[in-house]
Amino acid sequence: MKGILFEMKKNKIITVFGSKGGVGKTTVAVNLATVLSLAGYRTALLDFDLQFGDASVYLDLDSKQGICELVQEGTLSKDMIQSYMMTHKTGLSLLSASERPEYAEIVQSKHGEEIINGIYTEYDFTFIDLSPQMNEFNLSALEKSDLILYIVNPDISTLRSAKKTLELMKALKLAHKVEVVLNREDDNIIKAKEIESLMKLKFIYKIPIESKYAVASLNQGIPIVINARKCKMAKRLTEFGMKIGDGNYGVT
Ligand SMILES: Nc1ncnc2c1ncn2[C@@H]1O[C@H](COP(=O)(O)OP(=O)(O)OP(=O)(O)O)[C@@H](O)[C@H]1O
Ligand SMILES: [Mg+2]
């Protein structure tokens, strides 16, 4: 049902979120955006992890002029926003965070909303990468999203905080657009099905652990879907991205 609703609307906004650091939010956002861009969709990635956003590192793009510098321009017209966006060789447009974490506090939720409103109609898919916090800025981005991919890992601490955050999202009437993604799936530790029944969660997608290639790709600034496209993790991310492109993301 969600898939059908999702398909009807163009210019989709997809936010990648999670309540813990290091679970793979940026990895998933960068790679799904890359897959869609390579498939010919007009795709943007907004690095709204204001203080420590590192999407530019994953894509080996310059991060000197990012959202914090953009907001200081005073005007957030479409042209101004796009003049701050960098184009990756796949065609993906990136608005990076900033090199200067101390500037993050000047960016308010109204700026985030203006940036999203200013550009999302230019793209088939606008991905948003967030910091792992339920603050006002993040909430306004979550509210603007058509789909929220909530990333978890198979450890009890992450899963417990996920349960709490998902409850809160339900109370905030965001639950209908949230889908949970298991990253670092590792059958040798615990099977995804066991987590689902223990935690009463349903995973829309599972991305396997790929210790060798994930960090290597990050260090080289090349998304894993390009750099190691035959590894299991890259294959799953590619498949997931293509399903999102088809508006058929709800199949695991
Ligand atoms: N499936 C995976 N298998 C192995 N390593 C992974 C996997 N997914 C992500 N990683 C690695 O985990 C690290 C953290 O990933 P990432 O930066 O995407 O997390 P994050 O949730 O965005 O973190 P932060 O909250 O700090 O922004 C990176 O080194 C990344 O390469
Ligand atoms: Mg991140």
User: Domain spans of the chain?
Assistant: 2-240
Mean pLDDT for all residues in the chain: 93
| Cβ atoms 222, 246 nearer than 8 A | no
* pLDDT computed for residue 6 by the predictor: 53
**Which residues, other chains included, contact 215 with Cβ-Cβ below 8 Å and sequence gap of 6+?**
none
Tokens of 210: 């790929």
The angle subtended at Cα 128 by Cα 86 and Cα 239, nearest 5°, is 95
CATH 3.40.50.300, applies to 2-240:
yes
Tokens of 202: 């349903």
Q: What is the pLDDT of residues 185-211, one digit of tens each?
A: 999 999 999 999 989 999 999 999 999
How would residue 101 be classed by pLDDT, with cut points 50, 70 and 90?
Answer: confident
Identify residues whose C-beta is under 5 A from ligand 2, the ion: 25-26
25 CB under 6 A from ligand 1? yes
Q: What is the pLDDT of residues 59-86, one digit of tens each?
A: 999 888 999 999 999 899 999 999 999 9
Ligand closest to 32 (CA) is 1
Residue 21 to residue 52: CA distance in whole angstroms: 11
Q: What is the CA radius of gyration of the chain?
A: 17
Collapsing DSSP to helix, strand or coil, 30 comes out as helix
Residue 127 to residue 80: CA distance in whole angstroms: 19
Give the rounded percent of residues in the chain with a pLDDT score beyond 70.
95
Query: For ligand 1, what atom is nearest to the CA of residue 129?
Result: 22
Minimum CA distance residue for ligand 1 atom 8: 24
